[in-house]
């Protein structure tokens, strides 16, 4: 397993971490199969979506704000219940195909780290799932 460090700079943001993930996967050697990317946090998540038009990331964040607004009455006393819920809606892991040590994403896909309660120092764990000789 390899760990990627992600420094977030805003309370809420989607960061394209595709290049960092590619670098970490290359360090495993020419593996073919898949890697799981796991976020070990309760107010941050990970997803795969379009990385070409930055408006897509804004639309995802805005839609999540409408679905789970900060202003609802929550029982969690930390004041970040909306961030916990948005995190669970997106999810803590994605599985990406890997071929000969390289990510195999679709043309418009990027790996997006989702911060819902920043800014913080975060981690993404890169875990090879399957491996066969290249």
Contacts with Zn ion, residue ranges (CB under 5 A): 78, 80
**Minimum distance between the CB of residue 55 and Zn ion, rounded to whole angstroms?**
29
Smaller CB separation from Zn ion, 65 or 109 = 65
**Shortest reach from residue 64's CB to Zn ion, in Å:** 16
Of 33 and 79, which CB lies nearer to Zn ion in the complex structure?
A: 79
Compute how many other C-beta atoms are within 10 angstroms of the C-beta atom of residue 125: 17
What's the token pair of residue 112?
A: 């997006």
Distances (CA, A) of 105 to 21, 56, 91, 96: 12, 17, 19, 7
Minimum distance between the CB of residue 49 and Zn ion, rounded to whole angstroms? 25
**Strands, E, within the chain: which ranges?**
2-7, 13-16, 32-38, 44-50, 93-99, 102-103, 109-115, 121-132
- Toward Zn ion, which CB reaches closer, 8 or 80? 80
Strands 32-38, 121-132: pairing is antiparallel
Least CB distance from residue 82 to Zn ion, whole Å?
Answer: 10
Nearer to Zn ion, 59 or 78 (CB): 78
């Amino acid at each position: 397993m390899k760990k990627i460090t992600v420094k977030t700079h805003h309370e809420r943001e989607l960061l394209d971490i595709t290049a960092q993930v590619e670098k970490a996967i290359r360090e495993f050697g020419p593996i073919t199969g898949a890697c799981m990317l796991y976020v070990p946090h309760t107010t941050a998540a990970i997803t795969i979506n379009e990385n070409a038009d930055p408006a897509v990331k804004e639309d995802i964040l805005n839609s999540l704000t409408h679905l789970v607004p900060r202003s609802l009455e929550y029982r969690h006393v930390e004041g970040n219940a909306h961030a916990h819920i948005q995190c669970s809606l997106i999810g803590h892991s994605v599985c990406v195909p890997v071929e000969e040590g390289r990510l195999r994403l679709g043309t418009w896909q990027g790996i997006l780290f989702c911060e819902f309660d920043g800014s913080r120092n975060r981690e993404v764990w890169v875990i090879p799932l399957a491996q066969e000789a290249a």
